[in-house]
Amino acid sequence: MLLSARTASASDWRYCYAGSMQDHRFYVSPPFPAASAIDRIEEQWLAWLGRQALRYETTACPRGDDRSAVEDAVNAAIRYNAG
């Protein structure tokens, strides 16, 4: 869905998240190299959330300095969910 076949530069790594305080849920995508504009990426993420019928109050697709930074952020979200 959000993955690009092109090689990403350092500033092109992202992940997306959505959170629901009401449902006590936090959804996070895997890291991906982003070749599209942020508006398009967010549009795709919102469409995916809609297809899954997931409720959320917050959402974003932050950028990391590199893949490792994005993976660290995703892993922190996973640890948060586990707690």
The closest of 35, 29, 25 to 60, measured between CA atoms, is 29
Backbone angles phi, psi at 29, to 5 degrees: -85, 165
For residue range 16-52, what is the model confidence (pLDDT) as tens digits? 999 999 988 889 999 998 888 999 999 999 999 999 9
Cβ-in-10-Å burial (0-12, 13-18, 19+) of 35 comes to middle
For residue range 52-73, what is the model confidence (pLDDT) as tens digits? 999 999 999 998 888 999 999 8
Tokens of 57: 């109050």
pTM (predicted TM-score): 0.76
